[in-house]
């Protein structure tokens, strides 16, 4: 991984933070002081980084040099709304530094801050930190560091180098070089959000149903089926990020502690939306868009055909999720969430194009397809019965001959059993396509 010390071991006390390479010890300056760099571009999205742990890691790093002078180089490029700490965190971080660190910051001979020309005013020295502010040197270009540091010893992220080259090109009137996407950082072994179904399966002893999906569905089945507006309400972004951090760090989450049934509902949607590839896969996108062109009486059959092209793992997870949403829709007299309402909420969380975003015209077929999966769940996820429907190929028969029956023992391994869903007389009249 770019920026990570090759000698860094998973046994490092701050491996979960150190693996990102945000902090680096980068040789000495021209006065022999140790140089520590802080690179904002290496900070992952807030829900993937515990900022309190980052603060502890910073103190852990500075403890090694706190008795001597040192220089901090702060690369501001890459800080954005997705990864920046809150103002409250910055205030609490300053208060948390004990007198040893505060005095040393004020006695520090130098602090170099490399900023783009549009650096926010909040990073300028404030009156309350006037003594510290007098020791800060601001630079617009990396070349200005040569006067103060041993430049060749600095650990400068490639993203910062490219941005500096772009600024220099613009300053000199040249066409800036094309940007390159940095290589992705490896996820934590306990990562739950933003990783593939295969990764989750491999890290969870072959369990097909991802833990976040299983926990949220179980909780909502037990306590939320009759909650009005389920999946329609939002939740505090800070709370959602906190829960994502807990899951990603392999820590337990007790939704009872939050006192809001809509929080696990939001977490479920967030998990689906952050999958690297949608649950219905990129390959099925164009097929799904064509559902409106299919005669209404044949749409269920067409849904079954499209689903048979899914990878086995995706199919099992989709079957599990649709079984739950079908149960939610059957309580619509209480929760006001029928299959159509649920489809409007989940359509774009189950499928999106590989490039760009779904157009407004795509919403109708995407929502229609999702509504069919929920409304006709028992028929779509059962063995083929229609005379003209293509039967399962021999290689499929072992894994998909009876997906509904198969889904129960597979989820029992995770502590779940899908309750039997008796036919609903209220829905019988709608069983005509």
C-alpha–C-alpha distance, residues 359 and 29, integer Å? 53
* Lowest-pLDDT range of 173-182, 332-341, 362-371: 173-182
- Which domains does the chain show, CATH number per domain? 15-170 (3.40.525.10), 197-381 (1.10.555.10)
pLDDT, residue 123, reads 43
Between 141 and 386, the more confident residue is 141
Find, among 372, 200, 358, 359, the residue nearest to 271 by Cα. Answer: 200
CA atoms within 13 A on the CB side of 74: 15
Q: Are 71 and 36 in contact (CB under 8 A)?
A: yes
Residue for token pair 């926010």? 120
pLDDT, residue 420, reads 41
Q: What is the pLDDT of residues 80-117, one digit of tens each?
A: 878 888 777 777 777 766 656 655 555 554 555 554 44
10 Å Cβ neighbour count for 356?
A: 7
Q: What is the pLDDT of residues 366-424, one digit of tens each?
A: 999 999 999 999 999 986 554 444 343 333 333 343 344 334 333 333 333 334 444 44
Between 29 and 215, the more confident residue is 215
pLDDT, residue 289, reads 92
Q: What is the mean pLDDT of residues 328-354?
A: 93
Mean pLDDT of the chain: 76
CA distances in angstroms from 326 to 39, 154, 204, 280, 406, listed in the order given:
47, 57, 27, 17, 18
Q: Which residues contact 138 (CB under 8 A, 6 or more apart)?
A: 113, 115, 119
Q: How confident is the model at residue 260 (pLDDT cuts 50, 70, 90)?
A: very high
Of the chain, the percentage scoring pLDDT greater than 70 comes to 67
Whats the size of the chain, residue-wise?
433
* Tokens representing residue 402 in the block: 């009876």
């Amino acid at each position: 991984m770019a920026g990570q010390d090759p000698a860094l071991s998973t046994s490092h006390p701050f491996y979960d933070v150190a693996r990102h390479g945000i902090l680096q010890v980068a040789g000495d300056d021209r006065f022999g002081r140790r140089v520590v760099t802080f690179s904002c571009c290496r900070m992952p999205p807030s829900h993937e980084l515990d900022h309190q742990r980052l603060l502890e890691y910073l103190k852990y790093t500075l403890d090694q040099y706190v008795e001597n002078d040192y220089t901090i180089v702060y690369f501001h490029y890459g800080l954005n709304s997705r990864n920046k700490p809150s103002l409250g965190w910055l205030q609490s971080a300053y208060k948390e530094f004990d007198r040893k660190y505060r005095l040393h910051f004020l006695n520090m001979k130098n602090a170099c801050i490399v900023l783009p020309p549009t650096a926010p005013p909040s990073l300028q020295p404030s009156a309350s930190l006037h003594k510290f502010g007098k020791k800060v040197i601001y630079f617009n270009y990396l070349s200005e560091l040569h006067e103060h540091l041993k430049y060749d010893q600095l650990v400068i992220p490639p993203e910062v180098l490219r941005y500096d080259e772009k600024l220099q090109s613009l300053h000199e009137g040249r066409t800036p070089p094309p940007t390159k996407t940095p290589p992705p950082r490896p996820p934590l072994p306990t990562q739950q959000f933003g990783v593939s179904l295969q990764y989750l399966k491999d890290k969870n002893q072959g369990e097909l149903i991802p833990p976040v999906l299983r926990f949220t569905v179980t909780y909502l089945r037990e306590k939320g089926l009759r909650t009005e507006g389920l999946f329609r309400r939002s939740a505090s972004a800070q709370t959602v990020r906190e829960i994502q951090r807990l899951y990603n760090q392999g820590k337990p989450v007790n939704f009872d502690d939050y006192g809001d049934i809509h929080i696990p509902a939001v977490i479920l949607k967030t998990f689906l939306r952050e999958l690297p590839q949608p649950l219905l896969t990129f390959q099925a996108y164009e097929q799904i868009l064509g559902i409106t062109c299919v005669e209404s009486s044949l749409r269920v059959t067409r849904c079954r055909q499209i689903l048979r092209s899914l990878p086995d793992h995706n199919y099992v997870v989709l079957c599990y999720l649709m079984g739950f949403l079908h149960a939610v829709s059957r309580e619509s007299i209480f929760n006001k969430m029928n299959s159509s309402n649920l489809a409007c909420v989940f359509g774009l969380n189950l499928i999106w194009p590989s490039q760009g975003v779904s157009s407004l015209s795509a919403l109708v077929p995407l929502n229609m397809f999702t509504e069919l999966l929920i409304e006709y769940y028992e028929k779509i996820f059962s063995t083929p019965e229609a005379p003209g429907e293509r039967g399962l190929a021999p290689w499929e028969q072992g894994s998909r001959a009876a997906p509904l029956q198969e889904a129960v023992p597979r989820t029992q391994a995770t502590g779940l059993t899908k309750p039997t869903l008796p036919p609903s007389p209220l829905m019988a009249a709608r069983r005509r396509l």
